[in-house]
Amino acid sequence: MKDSVDRKYVIVLGAVALLILVGGAFLRPKKAAPQPPSPSENANLQSRIQRDYLAETASYLAQRAQLVAQHVLYDADHGSSAVVWEKPGQVLTTPGSTPALFDPPLLLRTRESGTATPAHAAEQNSTGWLIVVARTASGSVLWTPAIYGGTRQSTCANAGYNELLLNVPLDGSLSGAGAFDLDGILRGIVAPCNGTFHLISVASVARLLQAFNTPERQIRAAYGFLPSELDGAAKRLFATESGLFVTEVAQDGAAQQAGLKAGDVILSIGQRPVAQVAELANALASPAEVGRDLEVLRNSRRLSVTFPSANDAAYAGSADSTLGIRILSPSPTGETIVVEPGTPAYRSGLRTGDRVIQVGETRSRTLATLRGAFTRSGERPVLVRYLRGASERAALVEP
């Protein structure tokens, strides 16, 4: 300290300063606490925050949708979307955009495309966001965000599958669409089934494709008819030891063009008798030019039907679809029927909504006539031809 300074004054002044500071610190007006916002302001703020949050979410989902859309193509042949499946050039598509009774609901096709393959994931039971992405004829991306709440067991074309339950309705514009999670992993395919559209889980898709890959379906895909093996009663009815019963002939298919009809019994191919569907499938698939002559039993008469080779037989616009289905305008022919589950007709494959056109030898459009024919058949098996969707089918109804 400088000598000229009187310490007493310094200390007194210091005490005064301390007093001022302490007093002032107590007396100074407290900084007003920020006013809590009024309820209306609060609500306003809340709604704005929420709106911002939702807008952010929406833009994020749109961005994800554009990203996964590269895996989705438009299948002009079927008018539905197609998702690249497992490797580039192979797409999974559906037979169309109307929820008719398609069978099967999924088609595997090859197609030239350079798009990347989406990652496939094992079945997951968790819930969460999905982006359902389809492509329109003009090539634009059609998408909708969805929340899936879980899975349930369903059947489609007699094959069981896991259906992912969504909170959004699925319609024809989304037929064939892929459902991707937010990581861009494919979770399911939208496919027509039992008259409506469903989201089939990816794991089930693989299973369904395998199930559809039976000899029957190979034949149906290539030639447009469905054979079934004869049981004892049928063999007695047709008085033959071997042969295959034609239960369905698709319109405009190779089989129909060759002259095959539902209800025919294929006795042999290229002089070789056939008793099993696999035998017929192998014979038809063999590259040999010969051996495509079928001996057919129709109305107790033997006919010969010549099939084109497998390559020429392709139809429905896809050379290699496991099954091709053409969409036709609803047939005006035939009376629709109601079939009770558990009845012989139900067991033989008839379903409510089928249009019966022939019972035994009687061809008619009126129900009364057909009912008479049923009555006349008594205890014997009776051949029933009917229309379902785009096919003419036949069934042996055995009491």
Residues that bind other proteins (CB under 8 A): 1-2, 5, 10, 13-14, 16-18, 20-21, 24-25, 27-29, 31
How many residues are present in the chain?
399
Q: CA–CA separation, 339 vs 328, rounded Å?
A: 24
Q: Which residues pair with 268 in a beta bridge?
A: 273, 295
Q: What are phi and psi of 183, to 5 degrees?
A: -85, 0
CB of 35 to other proteins, least distance (A): 14
Task: Report whether 201 contacts 163 (CB < 8 A).
Answer: yes
CB of 15 to other proteins, least distance (A): 10
Is 21 strand, coil or helix? helix
CB of 33 to other proteins, least distance (A): 15
Task: Report whether 110 contacts 89 (CB < 8 A).
Answer: yes
Q: CA–CA separation, 132 vs 94, rounded Å?
A: 15
Which H or E run includes 383? strand 382-388
Residue closer to other proteins by CB (options 32, 338) is 32
Residue closer to other proteins by CB (options 1, 239) is 1
Mark 71-101 as b/e (b = at least 16 C-beta within 10 Å).
Answer: bbbbbebbbbbbbbbeeeebbbbbbbbebbb
Task: Report whether 128 contacts 147 (CB < 8 A).
Answer: yes
Q: What are phi and psi of 294, to 5 degrees?
A: -100, 135
CB of 36 to other proteins, least distance (A): 19
CB of 21 to other proteins, least distance (A): 5
Residue closer to other proteins by CB (options 14, 169) is 14
Residue closer to other proteins by CB (options 18, 147) is 18
Residue closer to other proteins by CB (options 29, 332) is 29
Q: Which two tokens stand for residue 280?
A: 């017929």
Residue closer to other proteins by CB (options 29, 232) is 29
Pairing of strands 128-135, 141-156: antiparallel
Residue closer to other proteins by CB (options 2, 301) is 2
Q: Which two tokens stand for residue 334?
A: 């035939």
CB of 23 to other proteins, least distance (A): 9
Which H or E run includes 162? strand 159-166
Q: CA–CA separation, 391 vs 220, rounded Å?
A: 11
CB of 13 to other proteins, least distance (A): 7
Q: CA–CA separation, 334 vs 363, rounded Å?
A: 10
Kindly list the distances between the CA atom of residue 119 and the CA atoms of 129, 131, 167, 199, 269, in Å, as whole numbers in the listed order: 17, 15, 24, 17, 44
Q: Which two tokens stand for residue 130?
A: 């999905």
Residue closer to other proteins by CB (options 20, 49) is 20
Residue closer to other proteins by CB (options 11, 67) is 11
Q: Which two tokens stand for residue 224?
A: 């447009």
Task: Report whether 87 contacts 117 (CB < 8 A).
Answer: yes
CB of 52 to other proteins, least distance (A): 22
CB of 59 to other proteins, least distance (A): 25
Residue closer to other proteins by CB (options 41, 86) is 41
CB of 27 to other proteins, least distance (A): 7
Residue closer to other proteins by CB (options 5, 288) is 5
Pairing of strands 141-156, 90-93: unpaired
CB of 181 to other proteins, least distance (A): 36
